[in-house]
Amino acid sequence: METSTNIQSALPGAGTSAGVFRPADLKRRARPLEFLVQGFLFFCGVLSIFTTLGIVYVLGRESALFFTNSEVNVVEFFTTVKWLPEIGHFGVWPLVNATLMTSFIAMLVSGPLGLSAAIYLSEYATPHTRGLLKPTLEVLAGIPTVVYGYFALTFMTPLLRAILGADTVQVYNNASAGIVMGIMIMPLVTSMSEDALSAVPRSLREASYGLGATKLETAVQVVVPAALSGIVAAFIIGISRAVGETMIVALAAGAGPNLTFNPFKAAETITGHIARISGGDISYASIQYESIFALGLVLFVVTLALNLISKAVVSRFREAYQ
Protein backbone atom coordinates (compact mmCIF):
# COMPACT_ATOMS: atom_id res chain seq x y z
CA MET A 1 0.00 0.00 0.00
CA GLU A 2 2.66 2.45 1.07
CA THR A 3 4.83 1.92 -1.96
CA SER A 4 2.05 2.06 -4.51
CA THR A 5 0.86 5.45 -3.24
CA ASN A 6 4.36 6.77 -3.61
CA ILE A 7 4.53 5.66 -7.18
CA GLN A 8 1.19 7.21 -7.93
CA SER A 9 2.06 10.57 -6.48
CA ALA A 10 5.23 10.56 -8.55
CA LEU A 11 3.16 10.34 -11.72
CA PRO A 12 2.10 13.60 -13.33
CA GLY A 13 -1.59 14.30 -13.24
CA ALA A 14 -2.13 12.09 -10.22
CA GLY A 15 -2.13 13.51 -6.71
CA THR A 16 -5.74 14.31 -6.03
CA SER A 17 -7.09 15.46 -2.72
CA ALA A 18 -8.41 12.02 -1.88
CA GLY A 19 -5.10 10.48 -2.77
CA VAL A 20 -6.82 8.04 -5.15
CA PHE A 21 -5.15 7.42 -8.50
CA ARG A 22 -6.86 8.88 -11.55
CA PRO A 23 -5.12 8.95 -14.96
CA ALA A 24 -4.86 12.27 -16.79
CA ASP A 25 -8.20 12.58 -18.53
CA LEU A 26 -7.27 13.97 -21.96
CA LYS A 27 -10.14 12.46 -23.83
CA ARG A 28 -12.98 14.18 -22.07
CA ARG A 29 -11.81 17.71 -22.60
CA ALA A 30 -14.25 19.69 -24.71
CA ARG A 31 -12.74 20.79 -28.01
CA PRO A 32 -15.16 23.16 -29.71
CA LEU A 33 -12.97 23.61 -32.81
CA GLU A 34 -12.75 19.88 -33.41
CA PHE A 35 -16.48 19.61 -32.99
CA LEU A 36 -17.18 22.49 -35.38
CA VAL A 37 -14.82 21.16 -38.02
CA GLN A 38 -16.30 17.72 -37.83
CA GLY A 39 -19.75 19.22 -38.17
CA PHE A 40 -18.70 21.19 -41.23
CA LEU A 41 -17.11 18.14 -42.86
CA PHE A 42 -20.20 16.08 -42.17
CA PHE A 43 -22.27 18.83 -43.76
CA CYS A 44 -20.07 18.68 -46.89
CA GLY A 45 -20.67 14.96 -47.12
CA VAL A 46 -24.39 15.28 -46.58
CA LEU A 47 -24.64 18.01 -49.24
CA SER A 48 -24.49 15.31 -51.92
CA ILE A 49 -27.58 13.74 -50.42
CA PHE A 50 -29.30 17.11 -50.57
CA THR A 51 -28.36 17.36 -54.26
CA THR A 52 -30.07 14.07 -54.96
CA LEU A 53 -33.07 15.04 -52.86
CA GLY A 54 -33.15 18.38 -54.68
CA ILE A 55 -33.16 16.67 -58.06
CA VAL A 56 -35.89 14.26 -57.01
CA TYR A 57 -37.97 17.01 -55.40
CA VAL A 58 -37.68 19.48 -58.26
CA LEU A 59 -38.31 16.90 -60.99
CA GLY A 60 -41.12 15.29 -59.00
CA ARG A 61 -42.93 18.49 -58.08
CA GLU A 62 -42.91 20.07 -61.52
CA SER A 63 -43.73 16.75 -63.18
CA ALA A 64 -46.69 16.42 -60.84
CA LEU A 65 -47.84 19.86 -61.98
CA PHE A 66 -47.38 18.73 -65.56
CA PHE A 67 -49.33 15.51 -65.18
CA THR A 68 -52.15 17.12 -63.23
CA ASN A 69 -52.55 19.76 -65.91
CA SER A 70 -55.89 19.44 -67.67
CA GLU A 71 -54.17 19.13 -71.05
CA VAL A 72 -52.11 16.12 -70.09
CA ASN A 73 -52.72 12.75 -68.61
CA VAL A 74 -50.25 10.09 -67.66
CA VAL A 75 -51.73 7.40 -69.87
CA GLU A 76 -51.60 9.65 -72.89
CA PHE A 77 -48.00 10.56 -72.03
CA PHE A 78 -46.85 6.96 -72.17
CA THR A 79 -49.11 5.55 -74.86
CA THR A 80 -49.62 8.09 -77.64
CA VAL A 81 -47.10 8.82 -80.32
CA LYS A 82 -47.40 12.54 -80.97
CA TRP A 83 -45.39 15.20 -79.17
CA LEU A 84 -46.73 18.60 -80.18
CA PRO A 85 -46.78 20.82 -77.09
CA GLU A 86 -48.19 23.76 -79.05
CA ILE A 87 -51.46 21.99 -79.67
CA GLY A 88 -51.54 19.90 -76.54
CA HIS A 89 -50.29 16.51 -77.71
CA PHE A 90 -47.95 15.00 -75.17
CA GLY A 91 -47.03 11.48 -76.22
CA VAL A 92 -43.46 10.81 -75.23
CA TRP A 93 -42.68 7.99 -77.70
CA PRO A 94 -41.25 10.00 -80.61
CA LEU A 95 -38.65 11.45 -78.26
CA VAL A 96 -37.96 8.12 -76.52
CA ASN A 97 -37.71 6.39 -79.89
CA ALA A 98 -35.09 8.83 -81.14
CA THR A 99 -33.15 8.54 -77.87
CA LEU A 100 -33.18 4.74 -78.14
CA MET A 101 -32.15 4.86 -81.79
CA THR A 102 -29.18 7.20 -81.28
CA SER A 103 -28.09 5.24 -78.21
CA PHE A 104 -28.40 1.96 -80.09
CA ILE A 105 -26.29 3.26 -82.98
CA ALA A 106 -23.79 4.66 -80.50
CA MET A 107 -23.46 1.26 -78.82
CA LEU A 108 -23.16 -0.49 -82.20
CA VAL A 109 -20.11 1.68 -82.77
CA SER A 110 -18.61 1.93 -79.31
CA GLY A 111 -19.33 -1.64 -78.15
CA PRO A 112 -17.28 -3.63 -80.70
CA LEU A 113 -14.67 -0.90 -81.14
CA GLY A 114 -14.27 -0.31 -77.42
CA LEU A 115 -14.08 -3.99 -76.52
CA SER A 116 -11.64 -4.77 -79.36
CA ALA A 117 -9.43 -1.88 -78.36
CA ALA A 118 -9.56 -3.06 -74.74
CA ILE A 119 -8.56 -6.60 -75.73
CA TYR A 120 -5.75 -5.25 -77.86
CA LEU A 121 -4.44 -2.95 -75.15
CA SER A 122 -4.70 -5.52 -72.37
CA GLU A 123 -3.67 -8.73 -74.18
CA TYR A 124 -1.54 -7.83 -77.19
CA ALA A 125 0.05 -4.42 -76.86
CA THR A 126 3.62 -4.15 -75.59
CA PRO A 127 4.03 -1.75 -72.68
CA HIS A 128 5.54 0.75 -75.09
CA THR A 129 2.63 0.79 -77.59
CA ARG A 130 0.21 0.75 -74.70
CA GLY A 131 1.84 3.81 -73.22
CA LEU A 132 1.42 5.49 -76.58
CA LEU A 133 -2.11 4.38 -77.53
CA LYS A 134 -3.88 4.67 -74.20
CA PRO A 135 -3.26 8.38 -73.52
CA THR A 136 -4.25 9.17 -77.11
CA LEU A 137 -7.57 7.43 -76.59
CA GLU A 138 -7.99 9.28 -73.31
CA VAL A 139 -7.70 12.58 -75.18
CA LEU A 140 -10.87 11.55 -77.01
CA ALA A 141 -12.63 11.25 -73.67
CA GLY A 142 -11.58 14.75 -72.65
CA ILE A 143 -12.97 16.57 -75.68
CA PRO A 144 -16.11 18.59 -74.87
CA THR A 145 -19.30 17.13 -76.30
CA VAL A 146 -20.22 20.32 -78.12
CA VAL A 147 -17.07 19.81 -80.20
CA TYR A 148 -18.32 16.34 -81.09
CA GLY A 149 -21.57 17.98 -82.12
CA TYR A 150 -19.67 20.23 -84.49
CA PHE A 151 -17.79 17.18 -85.77
CA ALA A 152 -21.03 15.28 -86.38
CA LEU A 153 -22.64 18.14 -88.26
CA THR A 154 -19.68 19.26 -90.36
CA PHE A 155 -17.84 15.97 -90.92
CA MET A 156 -19.92 12.86 -90.29
CA THR A 157 -23.13 14.10 -91.94
CA PRO A 158 -21.41 15.22 -95.18
CA LEU A 159 -19.48 11.94 -95.16
CA LEU A 160 -22.68 9.88 -94.85
CA ARG A 161 -24.34 12.00 -97.50
CA ALA A 162 -21.40 11.50 -99.83
CA ILE A 163 -21.41 7.73 -99.34
CA LEU A 164 -25.14 7.01 -99.28
CA GLY A 165 -26.44 9.87 -101.37
CA ALA A 166 -27.98 13.16 -100.34
CA ASP A 167 -31.46 11.81 -101.10
CA THR A 168 -31.33 9.06 -98.49
CA VAL A 169 -29.56 11.02 -95.78
CA GLN A 170 -31.11 14.19 -94.45
CA VAL A 171 -28.98 17.11 -93.26
CA TYR A 172 -29.98 16.38 -89.68
CA ASN A 173 -30.13 12.68 -88.93
CA ASN A 174 -29.88 10.21 -86.10
CA ALA A 175 -27.22 8.03 -87.73
CA SER A 176 -24.60 10.76 -87.81
CA ALA A 177 -25.33 11.78 -84.22
CA GLY A 178 -25.29 8.14 -83.11
CA ILE A 179 -21.99 7.28 -84.80
CA VAL A 180 -20.23 10.31 -83.36
CA MET A 181 -21.73 9.55 -79.96
CA GLY A 182 -20.25 6.07 -80.32
CA ILE A 183 -16.82 7.58 -80.95
CA MET A 184 -17.28 9.72 -77.87
CA ILE A 185 -18.26 6.75 -75.67
CA MET A 186 -15.62 4.38 -77.04
CA PRO A 187 -12.80 5.54 -74.70
CA LEU A 188 -15.08 5.01 -71.70
CA VAL A 189 -15.96 1.46 -72.77
CA THR A 190 -12.31 0.78 -73.59
CA SER A 191 -10.91 1.95 -70.29
CA MET A 192 -13.54 0.24 -68.15
CA SER A 193 -13.29 -3.03 -70.09
CA GLU A 194 -9.53 -2.89 -70.03
CA ASP A 195 -9.56 -2.50 -66.27
CA ALA A 196 -11.74 -5.61 -66.06
CA LEU A 197 -9.50 -7.59 -68.45
CA SER A 198 -6.30 -6.60 -66.65
CA ALA A 199 -7.81 -7.71 -63.35
CA VAL A 200 -7.98 -11.31 -64.60
CA PRO A 201 -5.02 -13.07 -62.97
CA ARG A 202 -2.04 -14.17 -65.02
CA SER A 203 -2.39 -17.75 -63.89
CA LEU A 204 -5.56 -18.21 -65.94
CA ARG A 205 -3.79 -17.11 -69.10
CA GLU A 206 -0.79 -19.30 -68.35
CA ALA A 207 -2.99 -22.33 -67.71
CA SER A 208 -4.62 -21.73 -71.07
CA TYR A 209 -1.30 -21.38 -72.88
CA GLY A 210 -0.15 -24.53 -71.13
CA LEU A 211 -3.06 -26.43 -72.67
CA GLY A 212 -1.89 -25.29 -76.08
CA ALA A 213 -4.29 -22.44 -76.73
CA THR A 214 -3.20 -19.58 -78.96
CA LYS A 215 -3.17 -16.00 -77.79
CA LEU A 216 -6.53 -15.32 -79.46
CA GLU A 217 -8.16 -18.42 -77.96
CA THR A 218 -6.87 -17.45 -74.55
CA ALA A 219 -8.10 -13.89 -74.89
CA VAL A 220 -11.56 -14.69 -76.25
CA GLN A 221 -12.35 -17.96 -74.49
CA VAL A 222 -10.66 -17.47 -71.14
CA VAL A 223 -9.94 -13.85 -70.33
CA VAL A 224 -13.07 -12.22 -71.74
CA PRO A 225 -15.50 -14.63 -70.03
CA ALA A 226 -13.63 -14.16 -66.77
CA ALA A 227 -13.97 -10.39 -67.07
CA LEU A 228 -17.49 -10.45 -68.43
CA SER A 229 -19.15 -8.72 -65.49
CA GLY A 230 -16.83 -5.74 -65.82
CA ILE A 231 -17.35 -5.59 -69.57
CA VAL A 232 -21.13 -5.72 -69.24
CA ALA A 233 -20.96 -2.98 -66.62
CA ALA A 234 -18.90 -0.87 -69.03
CA PHE A 235 -21.51 -1.33 -71.75
CA ILE A 236 -24.35 -0.36 -69.44
CA ILE A 237 -22.52 2.78 -68.30
CA GLY A 238 -21.93 3.50 -71.98
CA ILE A 239 -25.66 3.24 -72.71
CA SER A 240 -26.43 5.50 -69.77
CA ARG A 241 -23.97 8.05 -71.10
CA ALA A 242 -25.54 7.86 -74.56
CA VAL A 243 -29.05 8.33 -73.23
CA GLY A 244 -28.05 11.45 -71.30
CA GLU A 245 -25.88 12.97 -74.01
CA THR A 246 -27.23 16.30 -75.18
CA MET A 247 -25.01 18.44 -77.35
CA ILE A 248 -24.32 15.98 -80.16
CA VAL A 249 -28.00 15.24 -80.69
CA ALA A 250 -29.00 18.87 -80.20
CA LEU A 251 -26.69 19.88 -83.04
CA ALA A 252 -26.84 16.93 -85.42
CA ALA A 253 -29.96 14.84 -84.83
CA GLY A 254 -32.54 17.40 -85.83
CA ALA A 255 -35.12 19.64 -84.24
CA GLY A 256 -38.69 18.48 -84.13
CA PRO A 257 -40.09 15.27 -82.64
CA ASN A 258 -40.58 12.66 -85.30
CA LEU A 259 -41.53 9.03 -84.88
CA THR A 260 -39.38 7.27 -87.43
CA PHE A 261 -37.30 4.12 -87.54
CA ASN A 262 -35.16 5.41 -90.36
CA PRO A 263 -31.83 6.46 -88.85
CA PHE A 264 -31.13 8.78 -91.79
CA LYS A 265 -34.06 11.02 -90.95
CA ALA A 266 -34.22 13.88 -88.49
CA ALA A 267 -35.77 13.07 -85.13
CA GLU A 268 -35.43 14.86 -81.84
CA THR A 269 -34.31 13.02 -78.72
CA ILE A 270 -35.41 13.69 -75.14
CA THR A 271 -32.27 15.63 -74.31
CA GLY A 272 -32.30 17.49 -77.62
CA HIS A 273 -35.88 18.55 -76.98
CA ILE A 274 -35.11 19.81 -73.48
CA ALA A 275 -32.17 21.81 -74.82
CA ARG A 276 -34.17 23.33 -77.66
CA ILE A 277 -37.23 24.20 -75.57
CA SER A 278 -35.25 25.75 -72.74
CA GLY A 279 -32.90 27.54 -75.14
CA GLY A 280 -35.70 29.87 -76.14
CA ASP A 281 -37.26 32.24 -73.65
CA ILE A 282 -40.10 30.24 -72.21
CA SER A 283 -42.32 31.56 -69.49
CA TYR A 284 -42.25 29.78 -66.15
CA ALA A 285 -45.98 29.29 -66.12
CA SER A 286 -46.27 27.53 -69.47
CA ILE A 287 -46.91 23.85 -69.92
CA GLN A 288 -43.76 23.58 -72.07
CA TYR A 289 -41.75 24.63 -69.05
CA GLU A 290 -43.37 21.91 -66.96
CA SER A 291 -42.86 19.34 -69.72
CA ILE A 292 -39.08 19.85 -69.41
CA PHE A 293 -39.26 18.49 -65.89
CA ALA A 294 -41.35 15.48 -66.87
CA LEU A 295 -38.82 14.63 -69.58
CA GLY A 296 -35.98 15.26 -67.14
CA LEU A 297 -37.60 12.83 -64.73
CA VAL A 298 -37.79 10.14 -67.43
CA LEU A 299 -34.12 10.74 -68.19
CA PHE A 300 -33.11 10.70 -64.55
CA VAL A 301 -34.97 7.48 -63.79
CA VAL A 302 -33.58 5.69 -66.85
CA THR A 303 -29.95 6.67 -66.26
CA LEU A 304 -30.18 5.98 -62.53
CA ALA A 305 -31.61 2.54 -63.22
CA LEU A 306 -28.85 1.81 -65.72
CA ASN A 307 -26.16 2.90 -63.26
CA LEU A 308 -27.63 0.79 -60.47
CA ILE A 309 -27.91 -2.24 -62.77
CA SER A 310 -24.29 -1.80 -63.81
CA LYS A 311 -23.18 -1.69 -60.19
CA ALA A 312 -25.32 -4.73 -59.37
CA VAL A 313 -23.85 -6.67 -62.30
CA VAL A 314 -20.34 -6.02 -61.06
CA SER A 315 -20.99 -7.00 -57.47
CA ARG A 316 -23.23 -9.97 -58.28
CA PHE A 317 -21.41 -11.67 -61.12
CA ARG A 318 -17.86 -10.73 -60.39
CA GLU A 319 -15.50 -13.67 -60.44
CA ALA A 320 -13.08 -13.18 -57.61
CA TYR A 321 -9.81 -14.95 -58.22
CA GLN A 322 -7.76 -14.80 -55.09
Partner 1 sequence: MSAVTASSQLPEDRAFKQYLQGRRRVGWVWQSLFLLATCIGILALMALLYNVADGAFGYVAYEDKVDAATISDRPLEGLSQEELVAVLQANLSRGAFNKLDDEQPFAQRSQGDVYNLVLERVLQRKVVAAWSLTDSLTRRAAIEAELAEEHPNARLTFRSWLSPKFLQEPMSSQPLAAGVRTAILGSLWLIAITIAVALPIGVGAAIYLQEYADHTRWYNRLIETNIYNLAGVPSIVYGILGLAIFVRALEFFSSGAMFGVTDSNGRTIISAALTMALLTLPLIIVNAQEAIKAVPDSFRQAAYGLGATKWQTTWAHVLPNALPGILTGSILAVSRAIGETAPLIVIGASTFITVDPSSIFSKFTVLPIQIYTWTSRPLVGFRNIAAASILVLLVLLLALNATAILLRNRFSRRLY
The helix (H) or strand (E) run that includes residue 89 is: strand 89-90
3-class SS at 119? helix
Considering only residues 85, 91, 94, 149, which one is a binding residue for partner 1 as defined by CB under 8 A? 149
264 contacts 274 by C-beta, under 8 angstroms: no
Shortest gap between Cβ of 18 and partner 1 (angstroms)? 27
310 contacts 302 by C-beta, under 8 angstroms: no
- Pick 113 or 199: Cβ nearer partner 1: 113
The helix (H) or strand (E) run that includes residue 83 is: strand 83-84
> Is 259 a residue that touches partner 1 (CB under 8 A)?
no
Number of residues that bind partner 1 (CB under 8 A): 86
> Is 245 a residue that touches partner 1 (CB under 8 A)?
yes
Q: How many CB atoms lie within 10 A of CB 171?
A: 13
> Is 121 a residue that touches partner 1 (CB under 8 A)?
yes
Considering only residues 33, 87, 163, 285, which one is a binding residue for partner 1 as defined by CB under 8 A? 33
> Is 92 a residue that touches partner 1 (CB under 8 A)?
no
> Is 157 a residue that touches partner 1 (CB under 8 A)?
no
User: Who's near 111: CB < 8 A, 6+ residues apart?
Assistant: 189, 235, 238
Q: How many CB atoms lie within 10 A of CB 220?
A: 14
> Is 287 a residue that touches partner 1 (CB under 8 A)?
no
> Is 296 a residue that touches partner 1 (CB under 8 A)?
yes
Rounded Cα distance between 82 and 101, Å, is 17
Considering only residues 157, 190, 208, 258, which one is a binding residue for partner 1 as defined by CB under 8 A? 190
- Pick 80 or 104: Cβ nearer partner 1: 104
Shortest gap between Cβ of 73 and partner 1 (angstroms)? 22
Q: Which stretch binds partner 1 (CB under 8 A): 89-97, 143-151, 195-203, 221-229?
A: 143-151
Half-sphere exposure (CA, 13 Å, Cβ side) for 141?
Answer: 17
Residue type, 155: F
> Is 155 a residue that touches partner 1 (CB under 8 A)?
yes
